[in-house]
Structure 1
Amino acid sequence: MFDSLISEILFGFTGLISIINPFGGAFVFLDRTSKLTDEARRLLAKRVAINAFFVLLVAFFVGMPILHFFGISMEALRIGGGLAVAVSGWQMLTAPEVTPGAADDTALAQIDAGEASSKAFFPLTVPLTTGPGSIATAIALSANRTHQISAWVMSSIASVVISVLVTIVIFLVYSHAARLPKFLGAEGTRVALRVSSFLLLCIGVQIILTGLEGFLTPLADLHAAK
């Protein structure tokens, strides 16, 4: 049973951390918080990580019942969330370039100290960190949870441990995001930000396509059966 628990934790953590991709998200986080001091960015990273922890817990334990209660399908979650991610990626991709370290009041996508708290959950946590892909994955990981007490307890422990591990990684990566320019340089950071923005746009489009595929496939099968 212990081996099964470790296997479930490793499987869930690997899947979620691959989808969340905090290392790629660190460039997005850095771009959005370029006006903040290092200490303010670290505190904001802590808040985003804590928010992500609770988002994952909600997805693990009550995600499916919430979707059923509101009549929302997984396909609708993917399409709506993917659209939000794609729009964010497009805004960042088309935003004017800002010289590192220089203030630019026209960079509407950036967050200053006054609005950092209000932006911690949306858009920094949802959908930029724990987006529809990670939420859908967490729901899927818990979808087959049995009603047997021992199995339910072990699965619940795995869900909590996975959420904690993901939270720690998000905090460590985001809180040290300001070190990225030191390794990459000004031009390397600028290129990395553009590439991350483009990948974010592509991820959003892919999530939308996955949702559309899940919605259209049953219709196509029904039409073919006639």
Structure 2
Amino acid sequence: MDKLLISNFAASLFALLNPLGVLPIFIGYSAGEKRTVQRWLALFVALTALVLLLIFFFAGSSLLRFFGISLDSFRIAGGILLLIIGIGIVNGNSSQAAKDLIAEDQQSDFREAQLVYRKIVIPLAMPLLVGPGVIANVILYATEAEAKKDNALFVGLLGTIIVICFLVFVLFLSGRWLQKIVGDVGLNIVTRILGLIVAAIGVQFMITGLSNIIVNSLTPEILKVR
């Protein structure tokens, strides 16, 4: 099992999901709700992100084969996408969603959380959390594990997705507390750092993909000369 690949996947997935950057939006959506409702909302959003990630994780390689896209080509395209998203995060150009909430009514906390969740699942869960960069990243690493035919690596990546989604749940659950500790400025600084990491990962993806394509294209020519 490639532990370095798993650690890179964990870092890139957490950075791309950017729960700290989405946290202020979640707080804005749930600010007027009771604590119990906020907990249910955190759970609903985290589970939605988990389901979406698992879908793309298991179906990603099949999509590549269906469209006839090579791994290196997808790596370059994903790298460009990650670079653009990373630059956007560093510059603070994140999406801003409307903060309209459903009026409170006499109902259970679970039911009230369901109603609010239906209102905010788009754009909070997708695309703010599970956006195109996350999708490209998950497909890329899943395809990498399949290419290496390493079942342990595949399970490790799957476990990483579950752990990261659990961290998203914990962060949203403790959103108010975290905001009081680090403040808006602290959240903004952490978000910019995550954006820089995303941009660097995107550049590395492009370098690796271009290197592989160049090497693969030159190898036949070298063999012909010999």
Q: Give the TM-score taking structure 2 as reference length.
A: 0.64
Asked whether the equivalents of residues 84 and 204 of structure 1 are also in contact (C-alpha less than 8 Å), the reply is: yes
The 1:44/1:212 distance shift into structure 2, 3 A limit, reads farther
Structure-2 separation of matches of 1:89 and 1:32: 19
- Of residues 52-61 and 39-48 in structure 1, the stretch that sits farther from structure 2 once superposed is 39-48
> Which secondary structure does the structure 2 equivalent of 1:113 belong to?
coil
Distance in structure 1 (CA, Å) of the matches to 2:218 and 2:208: 15
Q: Give the 3 Å change call, closer, same or farther, for CA 32–221 of structure 1 in structure 2.
A: farther
* Alignment-derived partner of residue 89 in structure 2: 92
Distance 1:186 1:170 in 2: 18
Gapped regions of structure 2 (runs ≥ 5): 101-118
Corresponding residue for 1:27? 20
Say whether the 8 Å CA contact 2:79–2:204 is kept in structure 1: yes
Correspondence for 2:30: 37
Measured in 2, the distance between the counterparts of 1:12 and 1:205 equals: 16
In 1, the alpha carbon distance for the partners of 2:217 and 2:142 equals 26
Q: Distance in 2 between matches of 1:108 and 1:155?
A: 33
Paired residues of 1:45 and 1:175 also in contact (CA < 8 A): yes
Of 120, 124, 129, 1:124 maps to 129
Mapped to 2, the partners of 1:109 and 1:122 lie a distance apart of: 9
> Kindly tell me: are residues 211 and 173 of structure 1, through their superposed partners in 2, closer, same or farther at Cα, counting changes over 3 Å?
farther
Contact 2:84 2:199 in 1 (8 A): yes
Q: Give yes or no for contact 1:52–1:167 (8 Å, CA) kept in 2.
A: yes
Is the contact between residue 18 and residue 129 of structure 2 (CA under 8 Å) also seen in structure 1? no
Shift of residue 68, structure 1, vs aligned partner: 0.7
Flag the 1:183–1:113 CA change in 2: closer, same or farther, 3 A.
Answer: same
Q: Tell me if the contact between 2:82 and 2:199 (Cα under 8 Å) persists in the aligned partners.
A: yes
Q: Which residue of 1 aligns with 2:201?
A: 203
Q: Distance in 1 between matches of 2:89 and 2:39?
A: 22
The 2-side partners of 1:44 and 1:223 are apart by 58
Shift of 1:90: 2.0
Q: How does 1:1-226 map to 2 (within 5 A)?
A: 16-21=9-14, 25-30=18-23, 33=26, 35-38=28-31, 46-95=43-92, 109-113=95-99, 116-119=120-123, 120-127=125-132, 130-143=134-147, 163-225=161-223, 226=225
Deviation of residue 112 (structure 1)? Answer: 2.4
